[in-house]
Amino acid sequence: MELRMSRKERDRLKVVAALAERRLRQREAARLVELSERQVRRILVRYRVEGDAGLMHRARGRPSNRRLPEALRRRVMGRVVRQYRDFGPTFAAEKLREREGLVVSRETLRGWMIAEGLWTPRSPAKEVHLWRPRRPSFGELVQMDTSEHAWFEGRGQAEPVLVKMIDDATSRTVLRFFPADTTEANLEVLGRWVRRHGRPLAIYADRDSIFQVNRPPSAEEALQGYQAETQFGRALRELGIDYIPAPSPEAKGRVERSFQTDQDRLVKELRLRGIADIPSANAYLENEYEPMLNARFTVPPASSVDAHRPAKGYDLAAILSIQTVRTVANDYTVRHAGRRYQIQRRSIAGGLRGSKVTVEERLDRSLRLRFRGRYLRFHEVPPAQATPPPRPGVGASGPPPGPPAPTPYRPPDDHPWRQAFKKKRTFLLCVDTDRVSSPRSRRLLPRAEMPLTASTRVRLRLDSSRGRYHPLVNPGSESSCLCPCSNPLLAHRFRAKSPFARAPPVLFALCLVRHPETGARGRSLPRATPRGTRRGPQAKAEGRRRAARNISQENGAPRVFTGG
């Protein structure tokens, strides 16, 4: 027969065997096994009758006298299998006591669940790094993070995210459900913490784009001495709260481990209550779950000093908002998010037009305009609603389409608008070269004197520095003098031109013959010289000779002077 004895029973067997062989006295044996002499005599009697089996405990193999009834065990395990199958032993024992009125210790329930195969014993986790000690004061460091999890287990339309703040010294918690992890969501949780406890010294969060950016500072930020920051970073700066970026998820392990608790307990709590929408879930968090967390898992800080600073004097609604800068138009309107807002007359002040205003999108969905620390009154300008014309077709309702839009009027070629240049003509009148007495005209006279006939081809254009007239006669065309005289000279007709137009520099011919009846002279035209060009005496003489060679000669024609 095989006997299974404990270590204590084997040690006692060695002493009782020596006592049976009379190698020990009863007093010495009682001292060695830590029993009374009377109990030693009872054990010795059982040993002489039963042998080694007489030293084994009499209750071995029998049910305990304090054992729970089998009916209670079957009832509890039936509830666990039907409703708490994925619960842990501790959490299942709590729910059985709260909801079912079944009082079972967690270790008893753990044994039952292991026996039924509903729970697997976990081996203790190995320590891979040294734990960072908690901060000594409440509010000295607050960790912040967001958890994405199947909180509603597919019962709602979309799964929310849980944004959470937890104090490093006490594990006091503030948490809230949101549709997505946005700047507004984190600002709202921060506002709840500040209104409830005050302004902490620092916030420990990850390197998400909500908390920091990877760009150089803008011109306005550089002028103010600020680094590039997000809306959340600006709010922390205005509240005087430091931001400490966490290099890894393990660095902010306190909030990460608290999310493990929430993903176990909170998911099952929402399931038991049938909650599948964000407003109901936030109501449960605020009224039941958050007070339970703070009452059960909060630890006293090492220091009794509260490091939070009061938030009195801070406009939290303005600080915890999305702020953008916009420019005021000349009509005192501001465009933002595809809409236009008109500043009211009573809020218009000097220097407002063309200046920068700050648009605040607050968490309560309201809008504010701030200019130099003062809020402006404004109203939204409704957009112009253009009614599109009805499209013709089968079954189209409404009045029939009207006539097509009129074609823009284009004046004909003989319209007075197109003939306006005829009112500003200038003619070169024939004058006698021998009677030219104007000093300015004499300075323009070239040295070469050549007769000019009707067959002479001359290209005339006014100097670009004057820019008043432009010839209409094409170069190379033959024409006679347009003045009333009978001289067969080449004459040119001019029209007005914009002073901004630039005419290329060309050679000029001067008709300086006096009119025989009126005595009027033709307009003196200067030489054209390109801008920035300095002409010396030799270049000027060469230009005159080149102009003289380009003019043909015929006998009997009056003499005129040509210049280059």
Residue 18: exposure state from Cβ atoms within 10 A (0-12, 13-18, ≥19): middle
pLDDT value of position 365: 92
3-class SS at 204? strand
Q: Is residue 60 part of a domain?
A: no
Model pTM score: 0.55
Residue 512 shares a structural domain with residue 423: yes
Residue 431 shares a structural domain with residue 503: yes
Residue 184 shares a structural domain with residue 243: yes
Range of the domain at 334: 322-381
Nearest to 18 by CA among 43, 35, 53: 43
As a three-state string, the secondary structure of 416-470 is HHHHHHHHHCCCCCCCCHHHCCCHHHHHHCCCCEEECCCCCCCCCCCCCCCCCEE
Residue 49 shares a structural domain with residue 75: no
Length of the chain: 564
pLDDT value of position 504: 39
Q: Is residue 339 part of a domain?
A: yes
Q: Is residue 391 part of a domain?
A: no
**∠ CA 141-144-150, rounded to 5°:** 150
Residue 252 shares a structural domain with residue 170: yes
Domain count, the chain: 5
Q: Is residue 20 part of a domain?
A: yes
Residue 243 shares a structural domain with residue 269: yes
pLDDT per residue as tens digits for the range 304-327: 999 999 999 999 999 999 999 999
Do β-strands 508-510 and 374-375 pair in parallel, antiparallel, or remain unpaired?
Answer: unpaired
What are the tokens at 418? 């197109």
Residue 50 shares a structural domain with residue 76: no
Residue 164 shares a structural domain with residue 244: yes
pLDDT value of position 448: 32
Last residue of a domain, one of 281, 297, 313: 297
Residue 96 shares a structural domain with residue 41: no
Residue 85 shares a structural domain with residue 147: no
Residue 147 shares a structural domain with residue 186: yes
* Phi and psi torsions of 37, nearest 5°: -65, -35
Q: Is residue 308 part of a domain?
A: no
Segments of the chain scoring below 50 in pLDDT: 386, 394-396, 421-438, 440-532, 552-564
Q: Residue 161 is part of a domain; what is its CATH number?
A: 3.30.420.10
* DSSP strands (E only) in 270-338: 322-327, 333-336
Residue 353 shares a structural domain with residue 449: no
pLDDT value of position 52: 82
Q: Is residue 411 part of a domain?
A: no
